[in-house]
């Protein structure tokens, strides 16, 4: 039958890993399980326009606009992603696509948009499958498929298709977990963690100097990799218990150790590399001091970059924001931070 033109639009948030995914094999399969909070404000809004393709060609027919401007680099990356999906979705060759996408966070905020971007695109694709064929059996199957597709685009994106919190990778603590897609653990969050904030201190807005693809690759020769993968798997189990018990203190200690372990792995690679900046350490030390003074459960984590994420419960949000504004912003580029929090997950628009 003739396919009619149409458009599908999803907004997907980013996520922040609590136990980090670092090291992969095969087709984007993780070396260890990971767990994350889904964010709210940091998000990508993507519209996938499709029309029947006029002349059948070999590759994927697609153009991409970021904030209204054509971007050949992202278009190329997206064509590569769609080509990779052809064995599952042969119909991608029979359509012409125009992707319109925008991020809620500033352009060069030094914030990775791959998790929210790939998640939004994957959700559009599963909706497209449903529009062209028939609805999947249930919503669980819908999100599992979206997570599976998102993973093929960017590993950490697999965790962004669910609200609150998700686990990606086979874990003894989660019966239905898989290396191929993430699963929701929203029902395991103690209420205190549902109120958690994540304020992202923009220590540097520069593009990161080493891609995460290269970083994962270096793990293959890292002498600490095998014990790290065991540690991470054990830590996912421990993290899930702390999330369920509402143990903010031990949660925070584990969170910070995970962040520093990620960067220690980068520093122990050959070639080694350093993504934290002097101001990253300034912020961490001021935070430690603030914690000793107040006893407040506010802890940091880091992504593959210099920016510091501060995680804390809503009950102390006023005081923590005063501390950020008064003491931490001088160490941030352009005195900027992004206020975010645990969110409800993607939305179809």
Binding site for ligand PMV (CB under 6 A): 17, 20-22, 34, 114, 154-156, 212, 262, 303-304
Q: Least distance to ligand PMV from the beta carbon of 200, Å?
A: 13
- CB of 118 or CB of 124, closer to ligand PMV: 118
- CB of 36 or CB of 127, closer to ligand PMV: 36
- CB of 153 or CB of 297, closer to ligand PMV: 153
Q: Least distance to ligand PMV from the beta carbon of 2, Å?
A: 38
**Count of C-beta atoms within a 10 Å radius of residue 126:** 24
- Whole-number Å distance between alpha carbons of 2 and 248: 56
- CB of 34 or CB of 103, closer to ligand PMV: 34
The answer to whether the beta carbons of residues 39 and 32 sit under 8 Å apart is no
Give residue 220's Cα distance to chain centre: 22
- Whole-number Å distance between alpha carbons of 233 and 255: 14
Q: Least distance to ligand PMV from the beta carbon of 265, Å?
A: 10
Q: Least distance to ligand PMV from the beta carbon of 214, Å?
A: 10
Q: Least distance to ligand PMV from the beta carbon of 268, Å?
A: 15
Contacts with 136 (C-beta within 8 Å, 6 or more apart), sequence order: 126, 129, 130, 142, 145
β-pairing, 6-19 with 34-52? antiparallel
Q: Least distance to ligand PMV from the beta carbon of 27, Å?
A: 13
Q: Least distance to ligand PMV from the beta carbon of 211, Å?
A: 8
Q: Least distance to ligand PMV from the beta carbon of 115, Å?
A: 6
Q: Least distance to ligand PMV from the beta carbon of 114, Å?
A: 5
- CB of 304 or CB of 308, closer to ligand PMV: 304
- CB of 22 or CB of 143, closer to ligand PMV: 22
**Count of C-beta atoms within a 10 Å radius of residue 223:** 10
Give residue 323's Cα distance to chain centre: 27
Token look-up 């997950």 returns 345
- CB of 104 or CB of 154, closer to ligand PMV: 154
User: Which tokens sit at 259?
Assistant: 């962040």
Please spell the DSSP secondary structure of 165-202, one letter per residue.
EEEES-BTTBTT--SSSEEE-GGG--HHHHT-EEEEE-
Best CA proximity match to 265, nearest among 82, 91, 21: 21
- CB of 155 or CB of 346, closer to ligand PMV: 155
Question: Which helix H or strand E contains 102, and what residues bound it?
Answer: strand 95-103
- CB of 34 or CB of 101, closer to ligand PMV: 34
- Whole-number Å distance between alpha carbons of 247 and 259: 18
Q: Least distance to ligand PMV from the beta carbon of 34, Å?
A: 4
- CB of 17 or CB of 43, closer to ligand PMV: 17
User: Which tokens sit at 52?
Assistant: 């029947």
- Whole-number Å distance between alpha carbons of 197 and 89: 38
Contacts with 93 (C-beta within 8 Å, 6 or more apart), sequence order: 53, 56, 57, 59, 60, 86
10 - beta bridge partners?
A: 46, 348
């Amino acid at each position: 039958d003739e396919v009619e033109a149409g458009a599908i639009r999803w907004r997907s948030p980013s996520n922040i890993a609590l136990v980090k995914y670092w090291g992969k094999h095969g087709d984007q399969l993780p070396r260890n399980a990971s767990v994350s909070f889904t964010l709210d404000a940091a998000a990508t809004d993507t519209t996938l326009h499709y029309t029947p393709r006029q002349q059948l060609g070999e590759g994927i027919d697609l153009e991409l606009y970021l904030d209204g401007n054509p971007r050949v680099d992202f278009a190329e990356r997206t064509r590569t992603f769609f080509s990779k999906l052809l064995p599952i979705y042969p119909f991608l060759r029979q359509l012409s696509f125009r992707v319109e996408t925008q991020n809620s966070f500033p352009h060069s905020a030094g914030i990775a948009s791959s998790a929210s971007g790939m998640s939004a695109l994957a959700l559009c694709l599963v909706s497209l499958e449903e529009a062209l064929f028939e609805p999947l059996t249930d919503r669980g199957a819908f999100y599992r498929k979206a997570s599976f597709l998102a993973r093929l685009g960017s590993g950490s994106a697999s965790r962004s298709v669910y609200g609150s919190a998700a686990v990606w990778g086979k874990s003894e603590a989660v019966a239905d977990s898989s290396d191929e897609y993430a699963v929701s653990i929203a029902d395991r969050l103690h209420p205190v963690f549902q109120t958690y904030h994540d304020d992202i201190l923009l220590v540097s807005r520069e593009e990161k100097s080493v891609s995460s693809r290269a970083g994962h690759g270096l793990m293959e020769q890292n002498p600490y990799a095998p014990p790290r993968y065991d540690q991470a798997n054990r830590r996912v189990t421990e993290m899930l218990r702390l999330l369920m018990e509402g143990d903010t203190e031990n949660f925070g200690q584990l969170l910070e150790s995970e962040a520093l372990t990620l960067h220690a792995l980068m520093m122990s690679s050959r070639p080694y590399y350093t993504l934290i900046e002097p101001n990253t350490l300034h912020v961490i030390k001021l935070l430690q001091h603030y914690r000793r003074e107040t006893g407040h459960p506010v802890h940091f984590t880091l992504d593959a970059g210099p920016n510091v994420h501060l995680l804390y419960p809503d009950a102390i949000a006023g005081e923590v924001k005063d501390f950020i504004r008064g003491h931490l912003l001088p160490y941030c580029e352009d005195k900027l931070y992004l206020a975010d929090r645990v969110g409800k997950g993607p939305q179809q628009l």
